[in-house]
Structure 1
């Protein structure tokens, strides 16, 4: 194998990570696919790097709404991880979580919960209790309970995720922002608007620090706060936040 190829593939993967973090999903997909092509040509077919590339491609497709494509990539990653890694390796838990996410996005809630629970069980065996991946599992299980309208269980699992993220991550990490946003969403759904607002505001505060100003998640935060103010009858505040969200969405359309 050309000695320069692994470094080139890693460079493509790093570029993909950067584009993905910035919400530039088309560029991220291109970078991850170029990394995968190099790995498939130069590594054994069951090498973990190939699985990781499939996993990355799946994540991009999932975020682009291509959930069936994402599921195929996640399943290929899982097949390779099962052959290449010990049975309770954390990467297997990641693969189970990702497959669960694709199923949830496709509306197959029972399958999603099954994969999320498999991921959580591996995490309990292999990871410290405050590892970020444990928070991810609780967050994912909470999302399924939310889809099942079991808001009490959803809130409990989201709160466990936040407790872990607060210990395991920097205070302005995007995952913590997402966790706060999710708790706000549950409170909104159950009509507890005054309890929802502080969580949405904490989420937005972190995102302003951690994300580019035109990141799609910024628009999500503004839309959530706007919808909440609308439910509370504060229409002027709602309009202000809707306009901020619309500005981001228009800029995103212009970029594409």
Structure 2
């Protein structure tokens, strides 16, 4: 009970960015659980994984990697490769590799996670599809636009089967596919996809939601890149982003991936 309380206190300190205090508490809890429960008990490994997150936040990336690797090996032994804790640690490790620019290692981790999730959860489970989307983002970072597009289409087909055609995850994927099409120079296709995403978001979330405005902004940029012809004819898009016409864009609009 005391050790569990220490672990919880460590999480609380981490959430409040009190990293020095969090590390001390995690280390105390880890030592106690290793003695009481063993090195590969699920409860021990949870602390190992969380300590890895802490070290990553502090920039101690090599230490974080070692802890993630230890947690991953332990989870596979104690709860199996298909357990959520195992998936979470795989996700942490591949994110670490991505942040370090180790894209080859990150891709291998994504592929491993995707294979495990497809076996354990099925092709169209939301968690599997989220991993598909993460792999797609990695391919974009690597400049592999053809592969990224294939994965977008796979994610769209899966989302439509599992959660329906109007779910926000599908609409975000359409938005991102529009970005990809624009990068490929397929302006007409990008416009059609953005419009589809925009109509769905306006219906599902409302015209003033951050995600809706994100797609509005992407569409506005697309038109602007075409010499602003459509913005000049119809100021609707420009007004949604810049209602006073003074060039003050909504500070909460995030340009790029939705």
Structure 2-normalised TM-score? Answer: 0.63
Partner of 1:164: 158
Quick check: 2:3–2:29 contact (8 Å CA) kept in 1? no
Partner of 2:81: 88
The answer on 1:153 being equivalent to 2:181 is no
Tell me which structure has the larger Cα radius of gyration.
Answer: 2
Quick check: 1:226–1:241 contact (8 Å CA) kept in 2? no
Q: Matched residue of 1:139: which SS?
A: helix
Listed one character per residue, the Cα deviations across residues 226-252 of structure 1 (whole Å, up to 9, x for unaligned) are 2212123334456445537932339xx
Partner of 1:22: none
Quick check: 1:51–1:78 contact (8 Å CA) kept in 2? no
Task: Please give the residue correspondences for 1:218-237 in structure 2 after superposition, counting only pairs within 5 Å.
Answer: 220-234=214-228, 235-236=231-232, 237=235
Quick check: 2:145–2:180 contact (8 Å CA) kept in 1? yes
Is 170-179 or 106-115 further displaced after alignment? Answer: 170-179
Quick check: 2:82–2:116 contact (8 Å CA) kept in 1? yes
Question: Bigger relative contact order, structure 1 or 2, given CA contacts below 8 A and separation 6+?
Answer: 1
Is 30-39 or 137-146 further displaced after alignment? Answer: 30-39
Quick check: 1:89–1:122 contact (8 Å CA) kept in 2? yes
Counterpart Cα distance in 2 of 1:122 and 1:201: 35
Counterpart Cα distance in 2 of 1:32 and 1:194: 50
The answer on 1:50 being equivalent to 2:81 is no
Counterpart Cα distance in 2 of 1:197 and 1:180: 11
Q: Relative to structure 1, is the Cα distance of residues 147 and 32 closer, same or farther in structure 2, using a 3 angstrom cutoff?
A: same
Listed one character per residue, the Cα deviations across residues 108-143 of structure 1 (whole Å, up to 9, x for unaligned) are 322221211121222233221211222123222222
State how many pairs are aligned.
228
Q: Matched residue of 2:250: which SS?
A: helix
Task: Please give the residue correspondences for 1:1-256 in structure 2 after superposition, counting only pairs within 5 Å.
Answer: 1=1, 5=5, 9=8, 29-30=15-16, 44=33, 47=43, 49-50=46-47, 53=50, 76-77=67-68, 79-84=70-75, 85-91=78-84, 92-169=86-163, 173-204=167-198, 205-206=200-201, 209=204, 220-234=214-228, 235-236=231-232, 237=235, 239-240=238-239, 242-243=241-242, 246-249=249-252
Partner of 2:38: none
Q: Relative to structure 1, is the Cα distance of residues 210 and 148 closer, same or farther in structure 2, using a 3 angstrom cutoff?
A: same
Higher helix share: 1
Structure 1-normalised TM-score? Answer: 0.64
Q: Relative to structure 1, is the Cα distance of residues 231 and 113 closer, same or farther in structure 2, using a 3 angstrom cutoff?
A: same
Query: How well do the aligned residues superpose, as a CA RMSD in angstroms?
Result: 4.5
Counterpart Cα distance in 1 of 2:171 and 2:60: 27
Consecutive unaligned residues of structure 1, counting only runs of 5 or more, are 17-27, 251-256
